[in-house]
Amino acid sequence: MTSKIKNIRRPRDLLLLFEILAIVLIFFTFDGQFDRQMMFLAGGLIFIIYISNFILGKITTGDNYIFLIVSLLLTIGIITIFRINPETGIKQLQWSFIGILLFYLTYFFIRYFKNLHNLGSLYLIVSVALFFMTLIFGVVSGGAKNWLNIGIGTFQPTEFIKILLMFILASFYSSYEKYTKFKHTSYIMMAIVYFFVMLLFLQKDLGTAVMFLGMYMSIQFVYDRDKKSILVNIALLAVGAVLAYFLFGHVRNRVAIWLDPWSDVYNAGRQIAQSLFAIAEGGFFGSGIGFGYPELIPVSYSDFIFPVICEEMGILTGIGIIMLYILLTYRGVKIALEQEYTFYRILALSVSVLFALQSFLNIGGVIKLIPMTGITLPFISYGGSSMLSSFIALGILQVTSEDLSWKYERGE
């Protein structure tokens, strides 16, 4: 009897109930019309979420809860996007499927590939190549030149460069002793990071620059032995913020909107004003899925999806989403603390900081806590590049949650 109760209460089964409930709510939103798109969404959502968690439970000895947390975020995002635009929701489901495949490919590659900590130069070369390809052949979107057209579609190289930056940081600080023969060792990595930031300035992609600096500062604070370099980094960060404000008009506009969106509420301030109206209109429990007005919020299925969720599902759901990100970050930091090997410990910490910072920049921007940055909400906002890079990062975190002593015993 006890074993049956335990089986019923398994998190994976509770997740299945959550998926079914979400599909039922969407079903009633569309007046009970169960068409082909609804069937594809229902079957696809249950398949990619439930089966993925089932497989993961069979192949890994690490933390199984981080994927469960992401599954909840992914479900909320897909359901919300499908409610706004069914075709876009189906596309998001497809991106999620590709993202989960990349999650497993990343997991197996990092778990079994040797000498990853010795490839710092390769990570750097690939990152610089992607940067220069973007600068030369990039497509301008939203004021920033940060997209590449590859024929079958466009993608955002910086989403993948931030993954490479994690490996650059991990390779450098896990082999810190090797670089002590150089004078001012700590400034080698600082020069690389600020070179990346300079390239991001040329692309006018300042939101990503904030994430790069956030990851670097967190790792530097924990692992850098030269405490003066931390102060130098803070000073450079302050100078960079001031330069960005005076060099870029859209930065000044975003700061002005943040300070007073009501002064131009029908033009520049409309986005943040509608976001605040939507959150307030939802109240604690929301107006109900399908009873909000997401069409009034610009870019509602991407950068501004959080206020749409708050309007239709309530502030309590918004708080729940924030709690899920906090749990994801907590478990990531816990994984880093328990990981024995420095290279993988730094990777785990980098991924944790990335998820925490990205969710903070997005939610903080749409609730007017900080100026808007144009950063998407991980696993919830629509976007192929963001979805794929987030699942790659999650795959890295999954590997680092395991005991990897066997790998080092074999000579890595």
pLDDT of 21 > 80? The answer is no
pLDDT tens column, 41-60: 778 888 888 888 888 888 88
The pLDDT mean for the chain works out to 87
With 0-12 / 13-18 / 19 or more C-beta atoms within 10 angstroms meaning exposed / middle / buried, residue 157 is buried
The pair phi, psi for residue 149, each rounded to 5°, is -95, 120
Helices and strands (H, E) in the chain, number of each type = 18, 3
In this prediction, residue 142 has a pLDDT band, given cuts at 50, 70 and 90, of low
| Closest C-alpha to 168, from 125, 222, 108 | 125
pLDDT tens column, 282-333: 999 998 888 889 988 888 888 899 999 999 999 999 999 999 999 999 999 9
pLDDT of 87 > 60? The answer is yes
pLDDT of 22 > 80? The answer is no
Residues in Cβ contact with 261 at an 8 Å cutoff, skipping those fewer than 6 apart = 268, 269, 272, 273, 276, 368
Tell me which residue has tokens 């398994």.
10
Angle at 348 between CA 194 and CA 66, to 5 degrees: 130
pLDDT of 337 > 70? The answer is yes
CB 346 within 8 A of CB 169: yes
Residues in Cβ contact with 235 at an 8 Å cutoff, skipping those fewer than 6 apart = none
pLDDT of 202 > 90? The answer is no
Between 4 and 24, residue with greater pLDDT: 24
**Span 100-117, average pLDDT:** 92
Please report the pLDDT score of residue 195 as a whole number: 95
Residues in Cβ contact with 81 at an 8 Å cutoff, skipping those fewer than 6 apart = 88, 89, 92, 301, 305, 382
